[in-house]
Chains A and B, each alone.
Chain A
Amino acid sequence: MLKFRINDIDVEAEPGWTVLETAREYGIEIPTLCFHEAVQASGACRLCMVELREGDWTKLVASCVYPAKDGLNVYTESERITNVRRWIFEMLLSECPASQEIRDMAAKYGVTSTRFAIKDPEQDCIMCGLCTRVCAEVVGVHAIATQSRGVYKRIGSPFMKPNEACVACGSCVSVCPTGAMARRIDLVRGKMEENQTNAA
Chain B
Amino acid sequence: MGIANLAEKIDAKRLESSDDLVQLRREIQMRQDPNQVQIVVCHGTGCLVSGSPAVTRAFKKVLGETDIEAKVMPGVKTTGCQGFCSRGPLVTIMPQGIFYERVSPKDVEDIVEQTVKNGKPVERLLYKDVNTGEPLQTMDEIPFYNLQTRNVLKNIGTIDPTDIYDYIAVGGYQALAKALTTMTPEQVLEEVEKSGIRGRGGAGFPAGRKWRGAVQAKERKNQPLYVVVNGDEGDPGAFMDGSVMEGDPHAVLEGLILGAYAMGSEKGYMYVRAEYPLAIQHLEMAMAAARELGLLGDNILNTGFCFDAQINRGAGAFVCGESTALFTSIEGKAGEPRPKYVRSVEEGLWGCPTVLNNVETWANIPKIIDKGAEWYASIGSPNNTGTKVFSLVGKVNNVGLVEVPLGTSLSTIIEDIGGGIPGGGEFKAVQTGGPSGGCIPYKHKDAPVDYDSLTKLGSMMGSGGMIVMDKRDCVVDVARYFLKFLEEESCGKCNPCRLGLTRMREILDDFSKGCGSEQDIEDLMSLATSIQDGALCALGTSAPNPVLTTLHFFKDEYLAHIKDQKCPAGVCKDLITYSIDPDACTGCGACAKQCPNNAITGEKKEPHTIDTDACIRCGICEETCKFNAVLVS
Interface-side segment among A145-153, A162-170, A187-195? A145-153
- Known interface pairs A61-B341, A67-B341. Does A46 touch B494 (Cβ–Cβ under 8 Å)? yes
Does A118 lie at the interface of the complex (its beta carbon under 8 Å from any beta carbon of B)? Answer: no
Q: Is the CB of A43 within 8 A of B489?
A: no
Residues on the B chain within 8 Å of A45, using CB:
494-495
Q: Is the CB of A46 within 8 A of B499?
A: no
Residues on the B chain within 8 Å of A83, using CB:
526, 529-530, 533
Q: Is the CB of A149 within 8 A of B487?
A: no
Among residues of B, the one whose C-beta sits closest to the C-beta of A128 is: B495
Q: Which residues in window 517-548 of B have CB below 8 A to A?
A: 523, 526-527, 529-531, 533-536
Does A88 lie at the interface of the complex (its beta carbon under 8 Å from any beta carbon of B)? Answer: yes
Does B454 lie at the interface of the complex (its beta carbon under 8 Å from any beta carbon of A)? Answer: no
- Known interface pairs A62-B536, A116-B503. Does A150 touch B339 (Cβ–Cβ under 8 Å)? no
Q: Which residues in window 315-351 of B have CB below 8 A to A?
A: 317, 334, 338-339, 341-342
Compute the total of residue contacts between A and B using a CB distance below 8 Å. 94
Q: Is the CB of B492 within 8 A of A87?
A: no
Q: Which of A43, A61, A126 is the most central at the interface, judged by chain B CB atoms within 10 Å of its CB? A: A43
How far does the alpha carbon of A67 sit from the alpha carbon of B342 in the complex, in Å? 8
How far does the alpha carbon of A161 sit from the alpha carbon of B502 in the complex, in Å? 29
Distance to closest chain A CB from B329 (angstroms) = 13
Residues on the A chain within 8 Å of B529, using CB:
80, 83
Does A60 lie at the interface of the complex (its beta carbon under 8 Å from any beta carbon of B)? Answer: yes
How far does the alpha carbon of A43 sit from the alpha carbon of B536 in the complex, in Å? 7
Interface of B is mostly: helix
Q: Is the CB of B493 within 8 A of A42?
A: yes
Distance to closest chain B CB from A137 (angstroms) = 13
How far does the alpha carbon of A153 sit from the alpha carbon of B496 in the complex, in Å? 14
How far does the alpha carbon of A126 sit from the alpha carbon of B496 in the complex, in Å? 12
Chain A residues in the interface with B (C-beta under 8 A): 42-47, 49, 60-62, 65-67, 80, 83-84, 86-88, 91-92, 95, 115-117, 126-127, 129, 146, 148-153
Chain B residues in the interface with A (C-beta under 8 A): 317, 334, 338-339, 341-342, 487-496, 498-500, 502-503, 506, 523, 526-527, 529-531, 533-536
Please name 29 pairs of A and B residues whose Cβ atoms are closer than 8 Å in the assembled complex, sorted by A.
A42-B339, A42-B493, A43-B338, A44-B493, A46-B534, A47-B495, A60-B533, A61-B341, A62-B536, A67-B341, A67-B342, A84-B496, A87-B496, A87-B534, A88-B530, A115-B523, A117-B506, A146-B334, A149-B317, A149-B490, A149-B491, A150-B487, A150-B490, A151-B487, A151-B490, A151-B502, A152-B492, A153-B492, A153-B498
4 nearest A-B pairs in the assembled complex, by CB-CB distance: A153-B492, A150-B490, A84-B534, A91-B499
